[in-house]
Amino acid sequence: MPTTPATAAHSSSNGTAEAIMLELVDEDGTTIGTAEKLAAHQPPGQLHRAFSVFLFDEQGRLLLQRRALGKYHSPGVWSNTCCGHPYPGEAPFAAAARRTYEELGVSPSLLAEAGTVRYNHPDPASGLVEQEFNHLFVGMVQDRLDPDPEEVGETAFVTAGELAERHARSPFSAWFMTVLDAARPAIRELTGPSAGW
């Protein structure tokens, strides 16, 4: 994983992974504390800050990723380009750009805020709960992908019509449609009316 100021602060000196901490928030998105990542997702879930990224190619196709089978939460399902959690004190925009690079090996261009959405989605397979205040971002991807196989099992660029077909026949993350629908106004502004989003 590339070392950045944020990741350097979350790696221990002896090379072992420290507990990943998330920012807990109130219903208005104001920080009220921190919690360890897995603990925050245990039922009933603790409301925490998250982000979701939607990147498009020059044809207006959305980049999807299928989460790696080794992930403890929602493994092997399709989801948006990238999603995750800012470290405590890390700006959501910076976290979104950082994590997109870590997972997919690309830096998004024209990345822009697309609002926020609050949701509570249990994951039936794992029993974990996504209780999130999610910051949405849309942008473009113009470089060749270099996915981290520990994070990403597969990628695909899809049109709006192809997404509907794929969603009908393949498992997607519990939060996917919620974040997609919330981001649609910004997606339409980025891709234009002809892309059909």
Active site residues: 83, 132
Tokens in use for 16? 């072992």
Q: Which alpha helices (DSSP H) does 4-159 contain, by range?
A: 5-8, 37-40, 92-104
The values of phi and psi at residue 39, to 5°, are -60, -35
* Torsion angle (degrees, nearest 10) of CA 37, 126, 83, 163: -170
Handedness of CA 130, 89, 83, 56 (dihedral sign): positive
DSSP state of 193: G
